[in-house]
């Protein structure tokens, strides 16, 4: 178990001389707390698997250092780093029984037999694999196989961290839920640092206490699910987290007012020192915009359709070129195809060049 520090870490598959913009993983400095449950969230190709493989040592980074408890382990091979990783597709050793599969990482490290048997029995029990321990692993179903892979990741009690690379991709949705809550329970029970890579926000938000969002090779925000929801640090986070994503609208911001098409939207904070020449946008989650009947003092948008999600309804509207989703309260209807929009000032954020700007009180 260890704290993991990434210092100015970057990686390019094209070698160190490639232009920084082409790096798969752009320089990142961050700390992973011991015993934390992290999710690494981002769309395909954003660099999350690269980051994971750099931490586990499968890839040697082009630049920067990785510290385990302050000790530089960047040059060490995967075998020498104390790390476990579970891959997207189940990897099982065909000729071995389930129990032997679970024991494999321990046996390779010369752990005494009594200790191995104890750990295997314990992990087998935690993952509900104990009826199968003496069966050949090849005949099991995909999810049982993936459980074995998970088990091999968890069987060593001394690992610095357990890394999961989209481990539930091959699992049926029904079992996904079970396995995910199992992982969460295991995290509490075993007190291991876990890093979970996924492109599924539900998976990330339910598993982790800290979610790290990556976009285009950069870590754009790391925080609790609530932080990501309430205060996205980057327009991408706002857009990627939440369903539907945050509304991002180009606007002119001066002081406590944002102007869209000459219409004024009140802001809770004052933005006087915005960087000159930057692209200014406001972002507000659909949950904090209400679609009402058009009226004086309200921004008016063209209504395209209403999505009924059962528990809540969202009005999809159009403002010039921009699209905007808004909560449609019960009884809302629009006979003429337009809707007035009521913004909640405390949840309207201002972004300069996609980055959140903190206003003055």
Partner 1 sequence: MDKTVNQKAWFLVLPVFLVVAFSAVLPLMTVVNYSMQDTFGNNQFFWNGVGWFKELLDPSTDLGGRFLASLGRNLFFSMVILAIEVPLGIVVALSMPRQGWTVAACLVILALPLLIPWNVVGTIWQIFGRPDIGLLGYVLNAIGLDYNYVSNDIDAWVTVIVMDVWHWTSLVALLCYAGLKSIPDAYYQAAQIDGASRWAVFKAIQLPKMNRVLLIAVLLRFMDSFMIYTEPFVVTGGGPGNSTTFVSIELVKIALGQFDLGKAAALSLVYNLIILIVCWIFYTVMTNAGVERRTQAETEPAAARKPVGALQPVPALQPKEGVA
Interaction site with partner 1 (CB under 8 A): 56-58, 77-79, 83-85, 87-89, 91, 93-96, 104-105, 108-109, 136, 138-139, 149, 152-153
- Tell me whether residue 13 or residue 266 sits nearer to partner 1 (CB atom): 13
The distance of closest approach from Cβ of residue 100 to partner 1 in the complex, given in angstroms and rounded to an integer, is 9
- Tell me whether residue 198 or residue 210 sits nearer to partner 1 (CB atom): 198
The distance of closest approach from Cβ of residue 4 to partner 1 in the complex, given in angstroms and rounded to an integer, is 16
- Tell me whether residue 126 or residue 144 sits nearer to partner 1 (CB atom): 144
- Tell me whether residue 170 or residue 264 sits nearer to partner 1 (CB atom): 170
The distance of closest approach from Cβ of residue 138 to partner 1 in the complex, given in angstroms and rounded to an integer, is 5
The distance of closest approach from Cβ of residue 40 to partner 1 in the complex, given in angstroms and rounded to an integer, is 17
The distance of closest approach from Cβ of residue 85 to partner 1 in the complex, given in angstroms and rounded to an integer, is 5
- Tell me whether residue 148 or residue 284 sits nearer to partner 1 (CB atom): 148
The distance of closest approach from Cβ of residue 129 to partner 1 in the complex, given in angstroms and rounded to an integer, is 17
Look at strands 338-343 and 322-327 and give their pairing.
unpaired
- Tell me whether residue 31 or residue 79 sits nearer to partner 1 (CB atom): 79
The distance of closest approach from Cβ of residue 58 to partner 1 in the complex, given in angstroms and rounded to an integer, is 5
Phi and psi at 256, nearest 5°, equal -105, 25
Phi and psi at 160, nearest 5°, equal -70, -35
């Amino acid at each position: 178990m260890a704290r993991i520090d990434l210092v100015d870490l970057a990686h390019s598959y094209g070698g160190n001389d490639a232009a920084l913009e082409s790096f798969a993983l752009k320089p990142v400095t961050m700390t992973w707390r011991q015993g934390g449950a992290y999710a690494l969230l981002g769309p395909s190709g954003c660099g999350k698997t690269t980051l994971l493989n750099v931490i586990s040592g499968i890839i040697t980074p082009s630049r920067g250092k990785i510290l385990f408890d302050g000790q530089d382990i960047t040059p060490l091979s995967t075998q020498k780093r104390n790390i476990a990783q579970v891959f997207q597709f189940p990897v099982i050793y065909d000729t071995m029984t389930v129990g032997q599969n679970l024991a494999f990482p321990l046996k390779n490290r010369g752990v005494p037999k009594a200790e191995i048997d104890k750990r295997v029995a314990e992990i087998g029990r935690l993952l509900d694999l104990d009826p199968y321990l003496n069966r050949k692993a090849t005949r099991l179903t995909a999810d049982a196989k993936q459980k074995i892979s998970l088990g091999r990741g968890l069987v060593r009690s001394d690992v610095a961290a357990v890394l999961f690379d989209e481990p539930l991709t091959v699992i049926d949705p029904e079992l996904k839920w079970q396995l995910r809550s199992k992982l969460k329970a295991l995290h509490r029970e075993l007190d291991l640092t876990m890093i979970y890579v996924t492109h599924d926000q539900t998976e990330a938000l339910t598993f982790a206490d800290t979610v790290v969002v990556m976009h285009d090779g950069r870590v754009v925000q790391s925080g609790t699910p609530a932080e990501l929801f309430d205060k996205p640090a980057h327009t991408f986070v706002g857009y990627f987290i939440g369903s539907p994503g945050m509304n991002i609208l180009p606007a002119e911001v001066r002081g406590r007012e944002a102007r869209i098409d000459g219409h004024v939207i009140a802001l809770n904070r004052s933005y006087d020192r915005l960087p000159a020449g930057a692209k200014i946008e406001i972002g507000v989650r659909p949950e904090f915009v209400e679609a009402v009947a058009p009226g004086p003092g309200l921004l008016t948008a063209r209504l395209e359709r209403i999505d009924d999600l059962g528990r809540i309804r969202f009005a999809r509207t159009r403002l010039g070129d921009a699209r905007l989703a808004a909560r449609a309260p019960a009884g809302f209807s629009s006979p003429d195809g337009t809707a007035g929009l009521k913004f909640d000032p405390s949840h309207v954020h201002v972004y300069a060049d996609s980055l959140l700007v903190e206003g003055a009180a």
